[in-house]
């Protein structure tokens, strides 16, 4: 009988100990749901704070930019020794630049976004490009081109053309000049005045502040390698975008 009582007591004691351990274990288990809710509140607060910060610090840009990829369609522009068309390189850089500016909140309008254009008469073609900017009430007009000379005659480098009568566009041209020089991919042939170097339709007939960029010589093997590469096109577009954006803000 004594042994049986001892056994019952031992079993009761064991059950009691297990019960206590279960209670203690529950006391130490974290409230997962409550913790998740707390984390969600903190995360939401952080997102709201970050969003408010971006809204407060991101500059508002009201200007509309026209990007004009020179040539297109039946008009190939100049042709490289390897058969590359100027129109294709112009378009590639223009689209890269437009993407960069758009991501920064700039409203971009293109004169063309592909090669499916039906321009025939040169003057009418150029006027349509200008009209694109006028219809969009644009603030700036940038025309992207490449230069050409005799193959590998040593002529290389970028040039920037303006009418030389607009201090605002001259200031922007200087910023672009500095940005392209930092890339160090070719020579700097300077900022040209169209009234001194020869009239350019999209600059001199354009009521919008405009400039024309000759990014390099398609006839030069060194310029062409860079200009016809995805890397070079991206680097040029980014440099131009940064210079334009800095001017706008």
Residues 194 and 104 reside in one and the same domain: yes
Give the CATH number for residue 169: 3.40.630.40
User: Which range marks the domain in which residue 20 is found?
Assistant: 2-57
Q: What is the distance between the alpha carbons of residues 33 and 29, in angstroms, rounded to a whole number?
A: 11
Overall domain count for the chain: 2
CA–CA dist 110, 72 (Å, integer): 13
Instruction: Indicate whether 30 and 149 sit together in one domain.
Output: no
* Torsional class of 68: left (φ above 0), alpha (ψ -120 to 50), beta (otherwise): beta
Q: Which is nearest to 244 in space by CA: 1, 64, 45?
A: 64
Question: Are 243 and 130 in the same domain?
Answer: yes
Query: Same domain for 74 and 45?
Result: no
Say whether both 52 and 120 belong to one domain. no
User: Could you tell me the pTM of the whole model?
Assistant: 0.77
Q: Are residues 202 and 241 in the same domain?
A: yes
Beta strands 158-162 and 209-217: pairing type?
antiparallel
Residue bearing tokens 């040169």: 122
Looking at the structure, do residues 27 and 49 belong to the same domain, yes or no?
yes
Q: Which residue, 57, 85, 104, sits at the end of a domain?
A: 57
- Among residues 57, 73, 94, the one where a domain terminates is 57
Question: Looking at the structure, do residues 88 and 203 belong to the same domain, yes or no?
Answer: yes
Same domain, 122 and 37: no
Specify whether the CB–CB gap between 142 and 211 falls below 8 A.
Answer: yes
Q: Are residues 129 and 166 in the same domain?
A: yes
Residues 107 and 21 in one domain: no
Are 48 and 140 contained in the same domain?
A: no
pLDDT digit string (tens) for the chain, length 249 residues: 434 444 444 544 454 444 434 444 444 444 545 454 555 544 554 545 444 444 444 567 889 999 999 999 999 999 999 999 999 999 999 999 999 999 999 999 999 999 999 887 789 999 999 999 999 999 999 999 999 999 989 999 999 999 999 999 999 999 999 999 999 999 999 999 999 989 999 999 999 999 999 999 999 999 999 999 999 999 999 999 999 999 998
Q: H or E segment at 91?
A: helix 86-103
């Amino acid at each position: 009988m004594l042994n049986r009582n001892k056994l019952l007591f031992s079993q009761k004691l064991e059950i009691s100990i297990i019960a206590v351990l279960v209670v203690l274990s529950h006391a130490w288990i974290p409230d997962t749901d409550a913790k998740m809710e707390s984390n969600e509140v903190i995360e939401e607060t952080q997102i709201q704070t970050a969003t408010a910060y971006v809204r407060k610090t991101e500059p508002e840009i009201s200007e509309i930019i026209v990007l004009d990829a020179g040539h297109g369609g039946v008009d190939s522009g100049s042709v490289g020794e390897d058969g590359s068309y100027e129109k294709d390189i112009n378009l590639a850089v223009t689209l890269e630049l437009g993407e960069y500016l758009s991501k920064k909140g700039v409203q971009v309008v293109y004169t063309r976004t592909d090669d499916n254009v039906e321009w025939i008469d040169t003057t009418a073609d150029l006027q349509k490009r200008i009209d694109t900017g006028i219809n969009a009430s644009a603030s700036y007009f940038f025309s992207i081109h490449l230069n050409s000379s005799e193959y590998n005659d040593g002529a290389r480098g970028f040039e920037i053309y303006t009418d030389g009568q607009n201090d605002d566009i001259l200031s922007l041209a200087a910023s672009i000049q500095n940005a392209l020089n930092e890339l160090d991919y070719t020579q700097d042939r300077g900022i040209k005045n169209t009234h001194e170097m020869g009239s350019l339709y999209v600059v001199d007939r354009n009521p919008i502040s405009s400039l024309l960029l000759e990014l390099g010589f398609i006839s030069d093997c060194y310029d062409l390698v860079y200009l016809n590469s995805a890397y070079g096109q991206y680097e040029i577009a980014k440099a131009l975008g940064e210079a334009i954006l800095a001017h706008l803000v």
